[in-house]
Structure 1
Amino acid sequence: MSDLTPSAAGAPVLVGCSHGTDSVAGRAAIRSIVEGVRRAQPTLDVREAFVDVQTPEVADVVADSLTDAGAAVVVPLLLSAGFHVHVDIAQAVAPDGACASGALGPDPRLVAVLVDRLNAAGAGPGDAVVLAAAGSSDARAAEAVEEVAAGLRAAWPHGAVVVGYGAGATPSVPDAVATARTLGERVVIASYLLAPGFFHDRLLAAGADVVTEPLAPDDRLVEIVVDRYRSGAAALTRGHAGAGRP
């Protein structure tokens, strides 16, 4: 992965914005993405921000980045674009010189990570898979998850794939597990979460036979973040109308 610029001068700050979590392991997993971007793009100013639980808040990091560098691209470290992307992050990038990229998903590389996690967990022929996402009341987030589910069905020919949500959408993960029981010998939850924490703990208690590990850490997540940043930086350079909106 090549550097974006010969030096950091003039490049927008990359603000990696995650939800925030009380989980020590969850914080480490998200930090692995941010640190991976720093290693992959050593000339780039990469800063971390949050929409809840942790600080600094994304609006404050954007404001500081505009003061320091004159431009900032917020990359949501979120798998789907729900309330936090369309409201919290969108408000944070309202000032001139700031914009937000889309969420990390959907993306074929996320499907590839899910397949690797399923293989690592020992899933195989005869197992029914529940793609388990955090969930959102925003219908656009569910559409993004369904796109990933379609990709996983194409990439995982060993059994049925159904979708379940931790909150904000239906079916719930336990209901999806119950449906999957009628479709396979075992039920394997494919954790469509970036990191351990509250929602992953709920997956472990949802009644499946196997639960895969979350997606982070993984170098493909770093690649997606860099690609999202490039798109946002290009929009700022073009002065694209509406570039501040995710």
Structure 2
Amino acid sequence: MIAVQRFRDRVVIVSGGGAGIGAAIARRFLAEGARVGVLDLATAALTVDMDAAEAERLFAIDGDCTDGEVLESFHAGTVARFGRVEILVNNVGQSGRERSAPFHASSEEVWRFVMEVSLFSAMRLSRLVVGAMRAHGGRIVNMASDAAFAGDAGLADYAAAKMGIVGFTRSLARELAPHSVTVNAVAPGAIRTRAHDRVPAAVIDRIKAATPAGFVGEPEDVAAAVAFLASDEARFITGQSLLIDGGRWMI
């Protein structure tokens, strides 16, 4: 159990929080006393080994984060259960994965999926919470990627979507700053998740070799940075993009 309780009784939403980085973020907020709403395609694994007190403060719904009606229903359910949303973490997103390809061989169908899940979902969910945040203040943390800065080959659609997150973050931060709302982005590099575990060992070795820190990060490394940006300690930080990639890309 994390001793610090920066988010006691705060209401947090984490999209894509059923596994991986999103689950680590949800668990971090729960450990610090928050009441957390999570939307993902599957959320059952999130409650494994969770104590009863934390489970009571979790509102987890299975659903598609790219479906605007599902987002609206989830947001309304979270507010009905816990009250207005004070912290939003737009975590959900992914590349085309097995459908990724060099740009000349890529398809518009995949581009549109990547944009929907990685960019438009963040914009839609943000619009649902900003009305109350304009009146009461709040925090928004968006999930970008160091792929947006490094421009990884074969990920043109994903890099475009994640750089879109950076631009969205900056514009929304400027718009909401007068209302005591901060908006920031985190940009992870190679982080050990279930998807990452399927990557061949030789590829992992190349990633480590290209990372000054010399190792692959854990979901908890990202969760710690998100928690800081969502805290009162980060009240004077807005419109920023924090890379969490062991120094692979430095700005």
TM-score (norm 2): 0.43
TM-score (norm 1): 0.43
Structure 1 or 2: larger helix share? 2
